[in-house]
């Protein structure tokens, strides 16, 4: 059995206590026979199928809203259920909307099954509009009990685990930043960071009900966790550079500000007693930029142009880390309790929700992911979420049609069986359907024996109800799906046997309904995208790499060519963001299934991270172009930057394409030696152009409509920062090549086929 933290045990005990009590009160004490089953299933579905977490207040309101939605769906389904085709069409629309909303994660994903069940319960019940009110009343009673019980009986705040593990990553990141100036400590600090990050993603990746974009706090927490990948990438890249380089006093203040910001962010996630101050870090980075610009002008005026590029390049490392640390601080503040005293503004401290450079906004972290943008990006047939929602709605719609056509008793079991068995592809559905069938057979045998042993007496079944309820909730997650389905089958047999003891018709109907439900799931999975989400991971990853490399090229064109390249870069930015997000979601859905369809997980994780990083690099570069494109004296450097960006994009695309070819030949994609040589030539070209910069050129203020050249110091910074992003892109390609080599190396040396 597996139940870390006794989460499943707490949930099972809660349900085992509340469902029998609710059923007894409504059935026996209140005498509402037509409402008792609805009350029991409302309580069961909300506490067992959803089990919405979070802080007490948010948990209470989330359950209350879910309960209200359930009551409305029961009333509407009972009314429309008297007409066959209208109820089938309504089922497809409503189930699609509920299933598609799961892309927002958090409460939306956790409540999907619990939100579908009330509609299916009412739509498949015997058509009698006069019972709509009674059924809705029963659902309301069960929902009210579940809402109160969720915050009173053994609540488990699972999300606090994510916050604590995020805090550990942030603390370890601060240690690495501190160790940048203490070379002997770097290796140990990086090892702690990698371990902390692995623990965080163990609790985060593939969890469909993890925090998402549905609420502001969830959205901020999700973005903060996603930002750790970028933070670690920046730290690993810096760690892999020359460890003995002296970054000098200019960088020391910014280094300290970054470490303080990360530690404050960690404490905010751990206790909420401290809030990070992104404005202070932003201010320190602006001071740092002014110091570097002045240093560049001094070096150019003194004839030391050869010193400019190495000096700015070394200082750029802490600046790139500070960008991510500031974004992280903004996310962490958003993930904190808005009533926290630590968030109250201090004297002279204003809100900070953007990252700036030379007075210009270059990043707006909170604008990256919004519920509307997330839904819009996934509303396409190329989206795994969209396909899954269509598949689910088609399966449930078909079950409702069959139930109304055949007059199946307890028809919602058919839909529930289809919902449990249906997975993201045909192989996953077949595997799950087999487990559901075997479990139902076992439950049918055990349930029948229980009914025969109890005879015409209801009291033995009342005594067994808490036990079988506990097992129905505990066993699926703690033991296996087979035992879970067996336990749930016994639960429904005992529950309905109380009102009609001594008869085996409930067990027989349960077996028939489940077989019908899993047959529908198999049929739908075979005809609607049978290969599921795993092949889509490769396709969406290739698309993301292509879009992000194209955006990177567009961003460099903005810096080199100026406003003439702006229109194309806006379109490239939108396509890159959409494709990167779809690739990440496709991978997470495939990973959540834990089936054999997704191999080479580390390769796909690395490739998707490369796509998102290139998209981020391009965002920063596009924003830097506001300071003005390169002057004519730097034309050679501009051409070299464009060529280098094209070359690294081609290499990364080749590495991704070689992953799923029949003839996998890594040698065709390996050009790392040429890339590192081209970086040396690019540096030499930039050094040559630095000699042509006029340190006494007048400084002009750029405008958003028509950027113009700034002073020589800022021009030198933009030029070298552009070099740094190319360097980091080449480093990312090296990392991708390393993991791709693990799967294609055996074929890399295979002889070419004869002509």
Q: Measuring CA to CA, which residue among 140, 159, 128, 1 is closest to residue 70?
A: 140
pLDDT tens track for 222-258? 888 888 988 998 888 887 776 455 556 788 889 999 9
Confidence of residue 747 (pLDDT cuts 50, 70, 90): very low
675 vs 49, more confident: 49
What is the pLDDT of the chain when averaged over all its residues?
Answer: 80
Neighbours of 93 (CB within 10 A): 11
Between 77-86, 182-191, 417-426, the lowest mean confidence (pLDDT) is in 417-426
pLDDT at 181 over 60: yes
Confidence of residue 169 (pLDDT cuts 50, 70, 90): very high
Q: Measuring CA to CA, which residue among 229, 105, 231 is closest to residue 592?
A: 105
Q: What is the pLDDT of residue 22?
A: 93
pLDDT at 339 over 90: no
pLDDT tens track for 575-596? 888 888 888 888 877 777 665 5
pLDDT at 525 over 80: no
Q: What is the pLDDT of residue 663?
A: 45
pLDDT at 369 over 80: no
Q: Which domains does the chain have, with CATH numbers?
A: 4-157+373-527 (no CATH), 159-212+214-369 (1.20.58), 551-748 (1.20.58)
pLDDT at 432 over 70: yes
When pLDDT is averaged across residues 328-351 and rounded to a whole number, the result is 75
pLDDT at 263 over 90: yes
Q: What is the DSSP string of 49-62?
A: II---SSHHHHHHH
Candidate ranges 544-548, 564-568, 624-628; pick with highest mean pLDDT: 544-548
pLDDT at 90 over 90: yes
Residue 80 and residue 86 in contact, taking contact as beta carbons nearer than 8 Å: yes
Residue 425 and residue 597 in contact, taking contact as beta carbons nearer than 8 Å: yes
* Residue 373, SS3 per DSSP: helix
- Name the percent of the chain lying above pLDDT 90: 14
pLDDT at 141 over 90: yes
Q: Which residues contact 664 (CB under 8 A, 6 or more apart)?
A: 658, 743, 744, 747, 748
Q: What is the pLDDT of residue 158?
A: 52
Q: What is the pLDDT of residue 752?
A: 36
Q: How far is CA 383 from the centre of its chain?
A: 14
Distance CA 250, CA 317 (A): 13
pLDDT tens track for 158-167? 557 788 899 9
Confidence of residue 703 (pLDDT cuts 50, 70, 90): very low
Q: What is the pLDDT of residue 662?
A: 46
pLDDT tens track for 196-219? 988 888 877 767 666 666 677 878
When pLDDT is averaged across residues 648-677 and rounded to a whole number, the result is 66
Distance CA 193, CA 236 (A): 10
Could you tell me the two tokens for 115? Answer: 């939100």
Distance CA 654, CA 743 (A): 15
């Amino acid at each position: 059995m597996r139940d870390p933290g006794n989460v499943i045990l707490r949930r099972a005990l809660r349900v085992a206590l509340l469902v029998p009590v609710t059923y007894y009160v409504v059935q026996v004490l209140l005498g509402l026979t037509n409402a008792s089953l609805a009350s029991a299933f409302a309580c069961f579905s909300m506490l067992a199928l959803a089990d919405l977490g979070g802080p007490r207040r948010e948990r209470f309101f989330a359950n209350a809203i879910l309960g209200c939605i359930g009551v409305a769906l029961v009333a509407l389904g009972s009314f429309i259920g008297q007409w066959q085709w209208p109820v089938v069409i309504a089922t497809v629309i409503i189930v699609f909307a509920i299933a598609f909303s799961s892309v927002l994660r958090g409460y939306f994903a956790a409540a999907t099954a619990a939100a579908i069940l009330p509609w299916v319960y009412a739509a498949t019940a015997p058509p009698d509009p006069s019972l709509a009110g009674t059924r809705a009343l029963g659902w309301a009673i069960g929902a009210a009990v579940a809402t109160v019980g969720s915050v009173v009986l053994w609540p488990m705040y699972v999300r606090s685990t994510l916050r604590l593990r995020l805090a550990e990553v942030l603390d370890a990141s601060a240690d690495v930043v501190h160790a940048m100036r203490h070379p002997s400590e770097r290796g140990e600090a990086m090892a702690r960071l990698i371990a902390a990050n692995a623990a965080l993603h163990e609790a985060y990746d593939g969890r469909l009900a993890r925090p998402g974009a549905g609420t502001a706090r969830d959205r901020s927490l999700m973005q903060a966790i996603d930002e750790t990948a970028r933070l670690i990438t920046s730290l690993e890249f810096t760690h892999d550079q020359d460890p003995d380089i002296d970054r000098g006093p200019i960088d020391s203040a910014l280094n300290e500000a970054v470490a303080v910001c990360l530690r404050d962010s960690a404490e905010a996630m751990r206790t909420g007693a401290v809030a990070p101050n992104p404005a202070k870090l932003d201010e320190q980075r602006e001071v740092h930029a002014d110091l570097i610009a002045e240093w560049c002008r001094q070096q150019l005026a003194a004839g030391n142009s050869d010193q400019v590029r190495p000096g700015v390049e070394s200082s750029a490392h802490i600046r790139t880390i500070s960008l991510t640390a500031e974004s992280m601080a903004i996310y962490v503040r958003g993930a904190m309790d808005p009533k926290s005293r630590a968030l109250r503004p201090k004297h002279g401290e204003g809100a900070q929700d953007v990252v700036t450079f030379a007075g210009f906004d270059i990043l707006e972290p909170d604008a990256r992911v919004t519920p509307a943008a997330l839904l819009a990006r996934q509303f396409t047939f190329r989206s795994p979420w969209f396909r899954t929602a269509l598949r689910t709605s088609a399966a449930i719609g078909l079950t409702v049609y069959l139930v109304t056509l055949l007059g199946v008793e307890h028809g919602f079991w058919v839909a529930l069986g289809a919902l449990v068995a249906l997975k993201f592809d045909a192989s996953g559905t077949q595997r799950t359907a087999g487990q559901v069938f075997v479990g139902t057979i076992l439950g049918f045998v055990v349930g029948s024996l229980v009914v025969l042993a109890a005879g015409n007496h209801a009291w033995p079944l009342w005594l067994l109800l808490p036990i079988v309820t506990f097992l129905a909730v505990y066993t699926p997650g703690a033991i296996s799906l087979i035992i879970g389905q067996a336990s749930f089958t016994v639960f429904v047999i005992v529950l309905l046997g109380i009102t009609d003891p001594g008869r085996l018709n409930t067990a027989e109907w349960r077996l028939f309904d489940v077989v019908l439900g899993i047959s529908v799931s198999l049929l739908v999975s075979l005809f609607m995208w049978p290969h599921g989400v795993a092949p889509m991971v490769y396709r969406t990853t290739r698309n993301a790499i292509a879009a992000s490399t194209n955006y990177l090229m567009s961003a460099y064109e903005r810096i080199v060519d100026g406003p003439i390249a702006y229109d194309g870069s806006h379109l490239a930015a939108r396509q890159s963001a959409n494709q990167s997000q779809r690739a990440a979601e496709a991978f997470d859905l495939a990973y959540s299934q834990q089936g054999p369809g997704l191999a080479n997980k580390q390769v796909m994780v690395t490739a998707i991270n490369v796509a998102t990083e290139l998209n981020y690099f391009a965002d920063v570069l596009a924003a830097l172009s506001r300071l003005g494109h390169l002057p004519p004296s730097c034309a050679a450097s501009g051409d070299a930057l464009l060529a280098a960006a094209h070359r690294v994009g081609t290499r990364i695309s080749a590495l991704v394409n070689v992953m799923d070819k029949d003839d996998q030949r890594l040698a065709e994609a390996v050009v790392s030696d040429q890339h590192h040589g081209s970086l040396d030539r690019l540096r030499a070209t930039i050094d040559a152009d630095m000699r042509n910069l006029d340190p006494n050129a007048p400084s002009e203020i750029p405008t958003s409509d028509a950027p113009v050249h700034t002073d020589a110091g800022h021009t030198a910074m933009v030029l070298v920062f552009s070099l740094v992003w190319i360097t980091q892109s080449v480093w990312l390609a090296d990392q991708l090549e390393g993991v791709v080599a693990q799967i294609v190396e055996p074929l890399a040396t295979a002889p070419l086929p004869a002509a």
